[in-house]
A and B are shown apart, each in its own frame.
Chain A
Amino acid sequence: MAQECNCDTGLFNLQPSSCVTTPGITRKFVFVEYLKANGTVNGVDLSAPFGEAEIDALLANSDKTLRWFLSDRFKNFVTDRADPNFETVDNENLYVSQGTRTMSGNFYAAGADLAAKLDGNRCVELGVFMIDSANGINGIVNRDLFLDPIRLNKETFWSKINFPTEANRFNVAFSTEWDRIVLDGDIRTLGYSDHQTDLLNKVGLIDVLARFGVANSATEIAIDLYDVDGSAAGDAFTGLLVGDFTVFNETTGLPVVASAAVEAPNGTYTIEMNIAQTAGDILTVTATQAGFDFSQTTNEKITAI
């Protein structure tokens, strides 16, 4: 982090270079866990190739500590830094510290469930890359050849739903504050020409959930898969094939081969297993399909009979 003052600082040359890059209007966010497991900041290594292939891999990373959690587009984005804090000494206002930067916006193409997910941001140390209207990735540079996420103060993250009225549409509003140590002067933009990726038209992973898991016999289980769409019942998740499923016996710690599967009705899958399971064993089901995150389906435990 750049220091505001130290013994080595003095006046700086203020003339910019001939080409100046500035952030555009923020349209989307990429939330990330701020620190990796090894304690380093979860930033973009600019010394390595970084293009669409790398970004796609980050968006779909099975390791949530490294994944880029891309938001949908939002509107009414506002960010402002409060006035600095001063101490008045002898009628002089002496600068003490920078004010807090807040940012807020509204998601219009979202159900109320998004508010619950956004509130989950309070549970992790997180950072954000701001994706602007020119597909620029805006973050922080405070170490050589890394674009780091802007650290957020997780405790300040909140959201709410605004019910529709005769004058306003339904939307999910959010607000958060930057961490106090983040300096505006450290913001840098990784432009589209640098990463060649249309992030405004990318989508993040969609959660798929499971319910009504049941064993019909020693070799047959059934489970409902759905995604949350703001409706009470959710939206049946259709189209999975037998090869998409992974059945796991949590009791033995061994995978179980699915020998056949059928979807009827939509979103309800009956899966045959190649070996009879021991009564009482706990089974879980997960699946694979590009663009979707099935990790929460294993919360549905099926007891073998």
Chain B
Amino acid sequence: MKTIQIGKLQFNLDACKKMTKKEFFKIHSSICEKHNIDCEYAYEKVSGKKTTSNKD
């Protein structure tokens, strides 16, 4: 299983890549917020899709 660590959070890349952005946010926005992680940034990292212009 491929994983990625963002802050304290570890994401399962295989599982997250199968999610739409909406699904990813629905599941992870709460825990991202709790651990001060920008969920938009996390989604970009796990999906490999650039969704904003001023990240990275």
Residues of A at the B interface (CB closer than 8 Å) are 216-217, 219-220, 241-243, 257-264, 270, 272-274
Residues of chain A within 8 A (CB-CB) of B19 are: 259, 274
B12 an interface residue at 8 Å Cβ cutoff?
Answer: yes
B25 CB to nearest chain A CB (Å): 11
Chain B, Cβ-Cβ closest to A264? B8
Residues of B at the A interface (CB closer than 8 Å) are 1, 3, 8-12, 15-16, 18-19, 26-28, 30-31, 35
- Helix, strand, loop or mixed for chain A's interface? strand
A260 touches B31 (CB 8 A): yes
Known pairs A263-B8, A264-B8; A258 contacts B15 (CB<8 A): yes
Residues of chain B within 8 A (CB-CB) of A272 are: 27-28, 31
A243 touches B3 (CB 8 A): yes
In the bound assembly, the distance between CA atoms of A274 and B23 in angstroms comes to 8
B8 touches A260 (CB 8 A): no
The listed residue with most B CB atoms (<10 A of its CB), out of A216, A217, A259, is A259
Partner of B10, one of A257, A260, A274: A260
In the bound assembly, the distance between CA atoms of A46 and B9 in angstroms comes to 49
Chain A, Cβ-Cβ closest to B23? A274
A-B contact count (CB 8 A): 58
B14 CB to nearest chain A CB (Å): 8
B9 CB to nearest chain A CB (Å): 5
Chain A, Cβ-Cβ closest to B5? A241
B16 touches A259 (CB 8 A): yes
Residues of chain B within 8 A (CB-CB) of A274 are: 12, 15-16, 18-19, 27
In the bound assembly, the distance between CA atoms of A225 and B10 in angstroms comes to 17
Residues of chain A within 8 A (CB-CB) of B26 are: 219
Residues of chain B within 8 A (CB-CB) of A242 are: 1, 3, 10-12
Residues of chain A within 8 A (CB-CB) of B28 are: 259-260, 272
A220 touches B30 (CB 8 A): yes
B13 CB to nearest chain A CB (Å): 9
24 A-B pairs whose Cβ atoms sit less than 8 Å apart in the complex: A216-B30, A220-B27, A241-B3, A242-B1, A242-B3, A243-B3, A243-B12, A257-B15, A259-B12, A259-B27, A260-B27, A260-B28, A260-B31, A261-B9, A261-B10, A262-B9, A262-B31, A262-B35, A264-B8, A270-B31, A272-B27, A274-B18, A274-B19, A274-B27
Residues of chain B within 8 A (CB-CB) of A260 are: 9-12, 16, 27-28, 31
Residues of chain A within 8 A (CB-CB) of B12 are: 242-243, 257-260, 274
